[in-house]
Structure 1
Amino acid sequence: MIVVTGATGNVGRSLVRTLAATGEKVRATSRGISARDVPDGVDWRRADLADVESLRATFDGARALFLQSGGASAHLLDPGAILDAAGAGGVERVVLLSSQGVATRPDSPSHGALMRSIEDAVRRSGVEWTILRPGGFASNTYAWADSVRTSRTVAAPFGDVGLPVIDPADIAEVAATALRDPADIAEVAATALRDPAHAGRVHELTGPALITPRQQTEALAAALGTPIRFTEQTPDEARAQLLHFMPEPVADTTLAILGEPTPEEARVSPDAERILGRAPHTYAEWARRNGAAFR
């Protein structure tokens, strides 16, 4: 049994479907999950990562755990207690969804220090572990969906600064590979082509190429078959917008990444392609697959 936390999120939802399609026994969990959120045959349980007692029955009989790091609620988690409960339930392998910011923004309270503390708890847990550190998600542009639907416009800062954003479905596929037993995967021939080892590894996950907000807008327009006008926000305008749903330190670090990415944040990592055996999806491919959200 593989437990997937954050199972209704952009990565978790894809991961549940990917694992279920390969015949794995999956238990999906999140605070608001229901039967309509999971494929047939997937066990689902409502539980809250911030409430360890709600997780104990979810972990019972599981051998592997996908641990979503909590997103905006990460500061509410007790990762040591979560991992203790997982171990008591039988979990022997953990794949943690962390953040590239652990390495690139170590002084950031949200992107660096907080995520590092969760990673450290995983390393100390005594179970086999793999840590995933993605950069920006292609799905972050869901924030544009309302303006695209209503006025065919996108407003974003730093219109010509590119980052190698990654499709959450690719993160999910990497996680699925790390969660499954090697014996479950027909990789005898593939082993010669790529390194399948995940235990004790940190994988940095990015998309295949840099793409700017202006280029993302063009890709969305092509996917929808209609023009979309791009307007570049000032940093102050963007900050005011972010503060509606982000704490101030998170908003400031987010703007720093978007406007002045470090060389590491602008680097295309080879890890996703090495693990998947193919190039990760482009933003344009993500837009074509998810265009309905913007129509």
Structure 2
Amino acid sequence: LTSTLGGDGTILHAASLFATARSVPPVLSFSMGTLGFLGEWKFAEYKRAFREVFVSGAPDPLPAQRSNETTCNDGGAGPTSTSSWENMRGKSMGASRNSRILMRNRLRIGLFNSAGERLPHEPPFAHAGNKCEDIFALNEVLLHRGALPHLSHITILIGSPPHQRTLTTAIADGFLVSTPTGSTAYSLSSGGSIVHPLVSSLLLTPICPRSLSFRPLVLPANTPITLRIDEVNRGKEIEVSVDGVRRREGLKTGMEVRVIGEEVRTAGAPGARHWMGGVPSIVRSGGAADGEDHWVGGLNSLLKFNYPFGEDG
């Protein structure tokens, strides 16, 4: 179990500690920061929250993780053994306790040079225990021109070879690929859509594009996305950030960022389900089967969704 005390940035930091791991322990978050859209519990409720977690009967996921460690590769994200969570997703954690697990999708990100070779990890992702070549992000991956005065030229390709097709070349300050969880973050400030966290999708959002006809896109989560630094890019380097952690060395002409959604799905024989991917967040259920009350309430109370002008907040 991972517990966070703070705002949404604290939750992102906790998730980044597992940015090179396929399995993430359940996250119990207490909202104490300036913005708590992702935080589910108030700190004053900590006794109730921990009591509901520890008496819920959910087994320890760590033994299954230790016995099923694998190495990531170019072939896509394989199964993550989280069999101890098999009965938790979207369900009550007890007959009289209104907590449940919300699985949040992540992005799987790979960085490549112009020759198609992987770029080495930088701190904090580079460490002795890192067996994964990809980086996982809960919110987004950002490409940005940084302090350079010239707009970035980023070619966007959809699909995998030999069926890869060029979508367009984004001429903009930068470009975002976000998860549904990240749709209420930088993507929202850049004009992107708001997407429910249970919708398996990727968001493509330009940042201050030169063309007024460049609109944000929402694609299926299993769509391979390649962002290539175009040959006509005038800046020396394009900055790359993963969930707010900026890479010290930027990307030069011809280098690529390859992104695909880490889908949350089941595998295995009927009756023996195993969850693959995702960040399990402990949330309270509003009593409804879908448990969407917190998300809708956050749009209204925190983001002031469609709030009329001239009225007190």
Q: Same fold (TM over 0.5)?
A: no
Does 1 or 2 have the higher relative contact order (CA < 8 Å, sep 6+)?
A: 2
Length-normalised TM-score, structure 2 = 0.28
Length-normalised TM-score, structure 1 = 0.29
Give the structure with higher Rg (CA).
Answer: 2
Which structure dedicates a bigger proportion of its chain to helix?
A: 1
